[in-house]
Amino acid sequence: MNITGAELPRTSVSGMPRIGARRELKRALESYWAGRVGAEALSAVGAEVRRANWVAGAAAGIDLIASNDFSLYDHVLDAAVLVGAIPARYLPAAGPPGLDTYFAMARGGSVAGVALEPLQLTKWFGTNYHHLVPELGPHTRFAVSSDKAFGELAESAALGIATKPVLLGPLSLLRSSRPDPGFDPLSLLDPLVQVYVEVLERLSEQGAAWVQLDEPILATDLGGADLAALAKVYRRLGEAGQRPRIVFCTSYGHVTPAMGTLVDLPVEGIGLDLCAGPSNVDALAGAGGLGARALFAGVVDGQRPWAADLRTTLAVLESLQDQAAHVVVSTSTSLLHLPVSLEPETNMDREVRSWLAFATEKLHELGVLADGIEHGRAAIAAELEASDEAVRRHERSDLILDPAVRARVSRLGPNDDRRAGTPESRRAAQAARLGLPVLPTTTIGSFPQTAELRAARVARSKMDMDEATYAARLREEVSRVVAMQEELGLDVIVHGEPERDDMVRYFAAQLDGFALTQDGWVQSYGSRCVRPPILFGDVSRPEPMTLEWATYAASLTSRPVKAMLTGPLTMLAWSFPRTDLSRQDVATQLALAISDEVRDLAAAGMAVIQVDEPGLAELVPLRRTECEAYLEWATRAFRLAVAPAAEDVQVHSHMCYAEFGVLLPALARMEMDVLSLEAVRSAMALLGDLASTGSPAQIGPGVYDVHAPRVPEVDELAGLIRRAVSVLGPERVWVNPDCGLKTRSYAEVAPVLANLVSATQLVRAELEAEPAIVVPA
């Protein structure tokens, strides 16, 4: 595997954002799904997004520009389709899979008149990107089933730009899939590798000099069988008759346990993430280096939006020169996790902006670093000086350090994260104050965001509507939503969150320490994008954030109103993090800022406060050995946030994902009184586990799936409630949907909530008639 020749690449990009600088692809997809445009228009927009990325790479002088990093929905789905891992139910008609099959797998839909559920979605290696989960089983038959990778290679060549096709590697594809129960996905390895061999041959025939095989799974804990399989697979691929040079690309963390295997793989390049996994440097040296292979040194951060410290990075690159025959300056991951460009961000604080680099700016950094390596520091003296100056300004900026916040954190005592009372005494105090019936009903917070609401928000942001008119409009919405809940007979009322466009951004806008982007959209899944706030400095809360809405709603009803907050872990998970302070310390600051809000809400008489933590699971480390430390500081941050809630203030939390895994035992340490969660899609399977963790919390397993456009009947809902009661006992069960209602319409929400209340009344009556007998569903 000697890597020689005059044309060794200096720079490589693992992948680019693919939703379009102005979210063109999002709009095209949604128009296509709505039937407003055809497949040709959609494909033209995709081609334009790819062209823009290739041209940007070429303009920055990047040697290995990625192709096949684009996707109409998800690159894991693309990989499954490439190798033909398409479950039979998506192929009711004969013939090759078309766009309707692809989108049915992605988001449900109908193929040849048959209605189909989509594949499951799950998180991609600790990022906020979600991928589809392919299904594998004994019936899986692999065969090259898509021309996408070949088509994109030809398309870039036609533009005069040679590209490096990117493929999800075979091991990561198998391990990112869901095997049938009892089925070992590794048993599919041989036929799968055969397909990859064919793909490599075809790419080589088409003229690809390099191919990138992504194996992010190496950043997780793998067993010996996986490492043995890895060695075997890559031996086969390495021996393929005709193939491009292979860069075996890892990302999202260190790969220390596998390093010994990696340095022996018969491939021409190994990619290491030196940003999320700086310990890779020592691990590589420990394994004796890469010998005659090239090291694709992932020094330009693909996950975080900060400009590189060029001098420090250059020193890292220099220190790596004797670990490999050649060093290629690379991104640490695909740039998919970053906005396209800083250019439109004209409203941002200029100083903060000067510390940032988005995807386009990162391309430039790669080139500068490569020049520094090739021609020496003198060749990039001006860039180094500018970077040094930016680093100095950043470090010394009084925007990032708030002495009052630091002092407050350092004063924290061992009991400041403890609520008053015991679970039992809180329960009694809350029961006395709230007087709720058995099986209390509530919702998760948001009500439908109507077209009128969205229009008002847009008008307000363009200054076409004055603040007073906008606020009046929102108050009207709150009073309508409160009246509706009273009429429906819900027990704990919410204000409906009409003022929030995004549960993290709304709070970030009101906290010190955050900057917001105008156009910094990042793909979350499919056509869904978010604008993560940028957490650059110490966090504090100058003014109450939600008090006005909560107290206004409370003034409209005699029933208890639940105030809604986003929790510290979710604020952290869904923002771009700072790198000069540990996540643990940032979480503590966020927790204190939110605790200020909890204190104010409680002082204003709010008896129920919900602190949402759907992000708690997203920060769970990829490696099991790091989980306990995470759960220690994460649960403490949550407790700090809710600690000001007195015994008679009921603290709710909400989490929505199907897999609780390592989180289950941690829930009991969070000192919440009521936890609502997603349960419909996991068929309430969680309840038994929850019942046995010793969590004192009452639990609201979601009985209505907010993601499905259907209205469940009373009987179906009653069945789910009975089932929850049979596992948890009637005293612990709340009845609620499984997430916020903001993406649904009132036409669905009104009958759903009416059925939910009727179902609850039915089960209450059964319990009253025969309290001892709970009929399992």
Residues that bind ligand GLN (CB under 6 A): 444-446, 497, 503, 564, 612, 614, 654, 656, 739-740, 742
Cβ atoms of 161 and 65 within 8 Å: the answer is: yes
**Residue numbers 317-356 binding Zn ion by CB under 5 A:** none
Which does residue 445 bind out of ligand GLN, Zn ion, none, counting CB within 5 to 8 angstroms by kind?
A: ligand GLN
Cβ atoms of 502 and 544 within 8 Å: the answer is: no
CA-CA distance, 211 to 228, in Å (whole number)? 22
Select from 67-75, 265-273, 603-611, 653-661 the region that touches Zn ion (CB under 5 A): 653-661
Q: In terms of DSSP bridges, do strands 109-111 and 65-67 run parallel, antiparallel, or are they unpaired?
A: unpaired
Which does residue 699 bind out of Zn ion, ligand GLN, none, counting CB within 5 to 8 angstroms by kind?
A: none
Residue 569 Cβ vs ligand GLN, minimum distance, rounded to whole Å: 12
Q: Tokens 């684009």 appear where?
A: 70
Of 440 and 614, nearer to Zn ion (C-beta) is 614
Cβ atoms of 327 and 295 within 8 Å: the answer is: yes
Of 513 and 614, nearer to Zn ion (C-beta) is 614
Of 233 and 601, nearer to ligand GLN (C-beta) is 601
Of 566 and 588, nearer to ligand GLN (C-beta) is 566
**Residue numbers 584-623 binding Zn ion by CB under 5 A:** 614
Helices first, then strands: H and E counts in the chain: 27, 24
Cβ atoms of 15 and 124 within 8 Å: the answer is: no
Residue 656 Cβ vs ligand GLN, minimum distance, rounded to whole Å: 5
Select from 61-69, 289-297, 339-347, 734-742 the region that touches Zn ion (CB under 5 A): 734-742
Closest residue by beta carbon to ligand GLN: 740
List, in sequence order, the alpha helices (H) in 176-223. 189-205
739 binding Zn ion? (CB under 5 A): yes
What are the DSSP calls for 417-469, one per residue? T--SS-HHHHHHHHHHHH-PPSS-B---SB----HHHHHHHHHHHTTSS-HHH
Residue 318 Cβ vs ligand GLN, minimum distance, rounded to whole Å: 45
Closest residue by beta carbon to Zn ion: 656
Of 192 and 656, nearer to Zn ion (C-beta) is 656
The shares of helix, strand and coil residues in the chain, as percent rounded to the nearest 5, are 45, 15, 40
Residue 613 Cβ vs ligand GLN, minimum distance, rounded to whole Å: 8
Cβ atoms of 623 and 574 within 8 Å: the answer is: no
Examine the residue annotation and report whether 707 is marked as an active-site residue of this protein: yes
Of 511, 592, 508, 493, give the one whose Cα is nearest residue 549.
Answer: 493
134 CB neighbour count, 10 Å cutoff:
25
Of 167 and 675, nearer to ligand GLN (C-beta) is 675
Which does residue 503 bind out of ligand GLN, Zn ion, none, counting CB within 5 to 8 angstroms by kind?
A: ligand GLN
Which does residue 84 bind out of ligand GLN, Zn ion, none, counting CB within 5 to 8 angstroms by kind?
A: none
Of 78 and 613, nearer to ligand GLN (C-beta) is 613
Of 186 and 739, nearer to Zn ion (C-beta) is 739
Which does residue 436 bind out of Zn ion, ligand GLN, none, counting CB within 5 to 8 angstroms by kind?
A: none
Residue 653 Cβ vs Zn ion, minimum distance, rounded to whole Å: 11
Q: Tokens 């709150």 appear where?
A: 478
Burial 740-769 (b: 16+ CB within 10 A, else e): bbbebeeebbeebbebbbbbbbbbbebbee
Residue 573 Cβ vs ligand GLN, minimum distance, rounded to whole Å: 11
Q: Of these, 656, 663, 703, 774, which contacts Zn ion (CB under 5 A)?
A: 656
CA-CA distance, 686 to 658, in Å (whole number)? 8
Residue 492 Cβ vs ligand GLN, minimum distance, rounded to whole Å: 13
Q: Which of 130, 337, 654, 707 is catalytic?
A: 707
564 binding Zn ion? (CB under 5 A): no
675 binding Zn ion? (CB under 5 A): no
Kind plus residue range of the DSSP H or E element containing 674: strand 674-677
Residue 749 Cβ vs ligand GLN, minimum distance, rounded to whole Å: 12
Q: Which residues contact 274 (CB under 8 A, 6 or more apart)?
A: 280, 281, 297, 298, 299, 316, 332
Of 767, 769, 774, give the one whose Cα is nearest residue 439.
Answer: 767
Give the residues lining the site for Zn ion (CB under 5 A): 614, 656, 739
| Residues marked as catalytic | 707
